[in-house]
Amino acid sequence: MALDRELVGRSYPPSAVYEVGRAKIAEFATAVGAQDPVHFDVDAARAAGHPDVIAPPTFAIVVSLEAAFVVLGDPEVGLDYSRVVHGEQRFTHHRPIRAGDRLVATTTIDAARSVAGNDLLTARVELAAEDGEAVCTTASMLVARGA
């Protein structure tokens, strides 16, 4: 089905708080082979000017992709989850994500169009600290392949 352009600009309520832990950052860094000590060692992170260990650049996806998927649960969007693949991904870091962050994700539909029978939807997720400080903006383009 063709996506309704009226969906563009629609926002969803903020997510529950995601608390970033040191162990989770270390686990993610190990999984992607990021070996810089700023991901594992608080002293090394502080020596580099960070208050605590920082996450590798794509860690934000752990929080943001689930937030982006709220659009798939919106009956007015009507994308078939089983046909959805990840088409594009973008991160804009306002500052590194670090252990101790309590992040709130707010999702907005930035673009919606249908091309050659495929539905393309871009979900932008703003990750912010609880006090509103902007941390990372992610944009995920989801593609629902035509049946």
Partner 1 sequence: MTVEVGTELPEQVLRVTRADLVRYAGASGDLNPIHWSDRTAREVGLPGVIAHGMFTMALAGRAVTAWTGDPSALVEFQVRFGRPVVVPDDDEGAEVTVRGKVAALLDDGRARVDLTVTSDGEKVLSLARAVVRLP
Interface residues toward partner 1, by CB under 8 A: 24, 27-28, 30-34, 36, 38-39, 48, 50, 54, 56-58, 61-62, 65-66, 85-93, 95-96, 139
Q: How far is the CB of 66 from partner 1 (least distance, A)?
A: 7
Q: How far is the CB of 27 from partner 1 (least distance, A)?
A: 5
The first and second tokens of residue 80, run together, are 């078939």
Instruction: Give the rounded distance of the alpha carbon of 7 from its chain centre.
Output: 19
In 1-147, at which residue ranges do the beta strands (DSSP E only) sit? 18-19, 84-93, 102-115, 118-129, 134-144
Q: How far is the CB of 6 from partner 1 (least distance, A)?
A: 26
Q: How far is the CB of 134 from partner 1 (least distance, A)?
A: 13
The CA radius of gyration of the chain, in Å to the nearest whole number, is 17
Q: Which is nearer to partner 1, 19 or 27 (CB)?
A: 27
The tally of CA atoms less than 13 A away on the side-chain side of residue 66 is 11
Tokens 């590194």: give the residue.
96
Q: Which is nearer to partner 1, 22 or 50 (CB)?
A: 50
Q: Which is nearer to partner 1, 4 or 30 (CB)?
A: 30
Strand partners, 136: 93, 127
